[in-house]
Amino acid sequence: MRMIISPAKQMRVDTDTFACKELPAWMDRTKVLMRWIQSLSYEEQKKLWGCNDKIARQNAERFAHMDLQKNLTPALLAYDGIQYTYMAPAVFEDGQFEYVQEHLRILFGFYGVVRPMDGVVPYRLEMQAKAAVGGYKNLYDFWGDSLYREVIDGSRIVINLASKEYSKCIEKYLQPNDRYITCVFGEREGNKVVQKGVYAKMARGEMVRFLAGIHAETPEQMKDFQWSGYHFDDDRSSDSEYVFVRTGVPGKGNPEE
């Protein structure tokens, strides 16, 4: 069983907490992307990244002096986003790092797909960026089915905790004998369940932490997840979508208020 998650935009360097185990699997392709970005003018880079001058200049400087094999941070510690904050990998207990190293994969526009303890450097390149590299029209075409092939394991079970921007890299190549389960974390609004971005990101991080804590080996073990009012909703769930509804939310007319 494998879980997939998205990266975060903000990155940090941490070369002291844990040592990296290996380099990402698709370094040759990452080098192609690095050289292509280095060949762009600053204005072209800024347009590619779709950010303000401060962030663009920071990342232009990063790419100008980038060394993909030095000052590496384990991927799981490299991101400073809501999902990673609530996952809290820096305080994992015994066995949790070993679990996520086996069962968790992070999807990237720059690195493709990495294991949690693979060493990475700070960069900026979202999967949906308009990057026409090497004759490919965008990064989805550039990576093709390589991310899917790296993610799928012998169980052929994938737990989707990623955003649509990244999960579509896997979904396009699913085979009939694969089991692909998307987790939905939402709140009831009338007859619908609506996902709220911040809370969904929090819950995704907590779900990774929960599964690592119990060393889960089957999707059914996710149904025991309970955090901040979220619980598994069997009636709204299916074999391909596990829905977790948040109850006790003020202002929603919930009887638990």
- Sorting pLDDT into bands at 50, 70 and 90, what band is 253? very low
Lookup: tokens for 68: 């993909």
In the block, tokens 């800024």 appear at 46
Whether residue 256 is contained in a domain is answered as no
Whether residue 110 is contained in a domain is answered as yes
Lookup: tokens for 218: 């089957």
pLDDT at 197: 83
Separation between Cα atoms, residue 29 and residue 69, nearest integer Å:
14
Rounded-to-10 torsion of CA 5, 7, 13, 17: -10
| Tens-digit pLDDT profile for residues 26-62 | 999 999 999 999 999 999 999 999 999 999 999 999 9
Whether residue 255 is contained in a domain is answered as no
Of the chain, the percentage scoring pLDDT greater than 70 comes to 96
Contact 114, 74 (CB under 8 A): no
84 to each of 120, 155, 206, 224, 242, how far by Cα in Å? Answer: 16, 26, 9, 21, 21
SS3 category, 131: coil
Whether residue 222 is contained in a domain is answered as yes
Residue from 34, 1, 3 nearest 182 by CA: 3
In the block, tokens 């969904």 appear at 200
pLDDT at 254: 40
Contact 68, 75 (CB under 8 A): no
Residue from 2, 4, 212 nearest 107 by CA: 4
- Sorting pLDDT into bands at 50, 70 and 90, what band is 249? low
pLDDT at 252: 44
Whether residue 252 is contained in a domain is answered as no
Q: Count structural domains, the chain.
A: 1
Whether residue 46 is contained in a domain is answered as yes
Separation between Cα atoms, residue 229 and residue 206, nearest integer Å:
12
Rounded to 5°, angle at Cα 169 from 64 and 68: 25
The separation between the first and the last C-alpha atoms of the chain, rounded to the nearest angstrom, is 37
Dihedrals φ, ψ of 115, to 5°? -85, 155
Domain ranges, residue 58: 2-246
